[in-house]
Amino acid sequence: MRNDDSDMKIAGEEFKSKPALDDVEETSRLLEMEKASGNLSRARRLGAIMADEVAAVEGDDPAKEALFVTQRRILMAFAVEVALETLLPNSILSETARSVFYETLRKTAPSIYEDLQGSGAFSFYYLALREGKDVVNSVGEAYASLCGRAGDKALAKKGGELYVHFIEQARELVESFGFVEFSLSGQE
């Protein structure tokens, strides 16, 4: 059975990062609103859950697929980064969730955390994202290359599908948390 995903929005094609907050007073006021609304707690929980999701990624045969499992986790962590940056209401929540995400990985899955810290894979994925053209295919090609199989169309397709899956999984999780959105002027 084929899924029709033609109406799917893929991060990188239509999503833009939330603007960074410049004014210290404005940022302070927004931080207080985020605390009071429970959004800061939601962002922390979201970061921890996403870290657990990345740590749970396995392959069909982890012993034979160590490189693929590592690259799959790195791709998922990249998708988490993109999702947090583009799907959360503002940079305070994005940075909070990202910080908890990495701290949770560091504590609960140190080998994965070290793989992420030692890998240059994010650079390749960000290049694909910044080009803005056929992001899914470009991310997939980067994935295949990072798996040591550059030019492998089937693996590139799989990488693109994984990216879409991870972004959609993150989108559903973010939506389930019910973040309250505030405008920068302090109004809901």
Domain ranges of the chain: 26-177
Confidence of residue 99 (pLDDT cuts 50, 70, 90): very high
Rounded to the nearest integer, the mean pLDDT of the chain is 84
Structure-token pair, residue 71? 């690259």
Please state whether 97 falls in left (phi above 0), alpha (psi between -120 and 50) or beta: alpha
Q: Which range has the worst mean pLDDT, 18-22, 45-49, 65-69, 101-105?
A: 18-22
* Residue 147 DSSP SS3: coil
Indicate the pTM of the whole model. 0.79
Q: Which range has the worst mean pLDDT, 65-69, 95-99, 103-107, 124-128?
A: 65-69
Percent of the chain with pLDDT over 90: 62
* Residue 188 DSSP SS3: coil
d(CA 164, CA 71): 15
Which pLDDT score is estimated for 4?
46
Residues 6+ apart with CB under 8 A from 170: 50, 79, 80, 83, 84, 87
Residues 6+ apart with CB under 8 A from 136: 10, 160, 163, 164
